[in-house]
Amino acid sequence: MKVTLLAISVVCLACMGCTADPKSAAGFTLPDGDVQRGQDTFAQLQCYACHSVTDIEFDAVETSEEIVKLGGKTTRVRTYGDLVTSIINPSHRFAVGYADEAIKVDGQSKMRLYNNEMTVQQLIDLVAFLQSQYTVEQYQPTPYIPYY
């Protein structure tokens, strides 16, 4: 009997552990942002110093930084979680398709941190703006010619 109870509590504790990870993104939802305000914020914070966004024109900047493209065709939906993380925790995961030395210094993203100056509303609007710039295209398998 004691052994059964012990077994049950171990199983219960283990299950609670899997659903109660304090670092889980479960339950994370942003309110709707404003795409136009997001674009204005992007310009105001001069994100374009290191980024291009589809074919939107921003002021020209003289920079020696690698220009990382945002928006455009993608096969993977950019969720709120992806974009918020890229903006406030840039070294968590790195943009794909760039040489390490172009986007990292000492293993950290070259992206500037805005956490002490960006408002939450600006973050929400930036995410809405960036999401509106990605077009999700389904992966197209190579057409298969049946062989008889």
- Environment class of residue 147 by beta-carbon count within 10 Å: exposed (0-12), middle (13-18) or buried (19+)? exposed
Round the CA-based radius of gyration of the chain to a whole number and report it: 21
Cβ–Cβ < 8 Å for 67, 144: no
Query: Is 103 one of the binding residues for ligand HEC (CB under 6 A)?
Result: yes
Residue count at the site for ligand HEC (CB under 6 A)? Answer: 23
**Among 3-11, 21-29, 39-47, 138-146, the segment contacting ligand HEC (CB under 6 A):** 39-47
**Among 3-11, 15-23, 40-48, 134-142, the segment contacting ligand HEC (CB under 6 A):** 40-48
> What is the distance between the alpha carbons of residues 131 and 134, in angstroms, rounded to a whole number?
6
**Among 6-14, 26-34, 63-71, 138-146, the segment contacting ligand HEC (CB under 6 A):** 63-71
Q: Can you list the alpha helix ranges (DSSP code H) found in 20-90?
A: 35-44, 80-88
Query: Is 86 one of the binding residues for ligand HEC (CB under 6 A)?
Result: yes
Q: Which residues bind ligand HEC (CB under 6 A)?
A: 42, 45, 47, 49-51, 65, 68, 70, 83, 86-87, 90, 94-95, 103, 109-112, 114, 126, 130
